[in-house]
């Protein structure tokens, strides 16, 4: 069984590296982590909520929770999900399929990954 050893967040690229005991590294985007948050807000009560417009979301803070997980705080204000290490491993192992399912749900809902309001500053 693989064990998660370290997490490293790249702020500029908004990517989280997961390094495992077998030497492999999996990379998850902040957007992927945000839309797959284990929080009740996202998972709902039996029916998951579709989270859209998060292409530019970033992780602001990673806080250790005991020896079993982390709390990720995102710059959109979301910070209620507790990411157990086993859940992060699950996300990493199933990233491709989960992402394709997410994109299909967005399309079916006529929703977008892009922000509703442009946040570009023009000088």
How confident is the model at residue 1, as a pLDDT? 60
pLDDT of residue 48: 81
Give the domain range for residue 56. Answer: 4-108
- If one counts the domains in the chain, the total is 1
The pLDDT score that the predictor gives to residue 75 is 96
Residue 17 lies in a domain: yes
* Residue 28's pLDDT band (cuts 50, 70, 90): very high
* Phi and psi at residue 32, to the nearest 5°: -60, -45
pLDDT digits (tens, 9 = 90+) for 38-78: 988 788 777 788 999 999 999 999 999 998 999 999 999 99
In a domain, 20, yes or no: yes
> Is 115 within a domain?
no
* CA 105 to each of CA 52, 97, 102: distance values in angstroms, whole numbers, following the listed order: 10, 12, 5
CATH of the domain at 102: 3.30.2020.30
Q: Is residue 23 part of a domain?
A: yes
Q: What is the pLDDT of residues 79-116, one digit of tens each?
A: 988 999 999 999 999 999 999 999 999 999 999 999 87
The reply to whether 12 falls in a domain is yes
């Amino acid at each position: 069984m693989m064990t998660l050893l370290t997490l490293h967040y790249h702020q500029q690229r908004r990517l989280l590296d997961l390094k495992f005991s077998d030497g492999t590294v999996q990379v998850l985007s902040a957007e992927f982590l945000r839309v797959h948050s284990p929080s009740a807000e996202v998972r709902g009560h039996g029916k998951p909520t579709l989270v859209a417009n998060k292409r530019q979301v970033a992780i602001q803070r990673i806080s250790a929770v005991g020896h079993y997980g982390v709390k990720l705080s995102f710059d959109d204000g979301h910070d209620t999900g507790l990411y157990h290490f086993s859940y992060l491993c699950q996300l990493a192992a199933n990233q491709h399929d989960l992402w394709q399912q997410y994109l299909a749900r967005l399309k079916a809902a006529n929703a977008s990954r892009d922000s509703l309001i442009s946040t570009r500053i023009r000088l």
